Amino acid sequence: MKRVVILTVITFLGAGAAFAGSLFVPWFLDNGSTGTSGTPTAAGTSCAFITITNTTGSAITCTVTYRTPTGVDATPVANTFSLPMYQAVSWRPAVNDTGPGGSEGPAGGAIPDMTSGDKGSARISWPGGTSKDIQGRVAQILPTGNALAYLLPEGP
């Protein structure tokens, strides 16, 4: 009987992990001006771009949540979006940059931005599937034109 209980618990834990996925953006700084084609113009500023790609043959409904550096929730009330099959989308997490000279385009502009602040962290999650369904990276572009990027780890 003890073995049956242990196997049942392990099965439920494994099944629970298979029914959701998430990616975590540990840090971004997005205080560059808009309309500059993604390259900030002022010293000490940076443009951040979160990019995610749906690797499956089905659309995925994603939820994004944001936190400031002090842990304050900066998530908008409407914080979901659909990512079409085999498609990628890139957006600036703190500003909407879809106007003239903007860098997001309509798809990126449709992703909800954080409600306050210009730096922090983000979590992108989705029901069903696994964390392998969506791959992502975050990039920071500096006024010098230099950039850095890293792949997004699986979220909590």
DSSP assignment string, 136-153: EEEEEE-TTS-EEEEEPP
- In this predicted structure, what is the pLDDT of residue 141? 94
- Mean model confidence pLDDT for the chain: 87
pLDDT of residue 155: 76
Contact between residue 69 and residue 77 where contact means Cβ atoms under 8 Å apart: no
Mapped onto helix, strand or coil, the DSSP state of residue 101 is coil
Sign, CA dihedral 38-33-151-105, equals negative
Full DSSP string of 58-91: S-EEEEEEEE-TT--B---S--EEEE-TT-EEEE
| pLDDT tier, 131 (very low <50, low <70, confident <90, very high otherwise) | confident
- pLDDT at position 19, please? 66
pLDDT at 15 over 90: no
What pTM was estimated for this model as a whole? 0.85
pLDDT per residue as tens digits for the range 76-124: 999 999 999 999 999 999 999 998 888 888 899 999 999 999 999 999 9
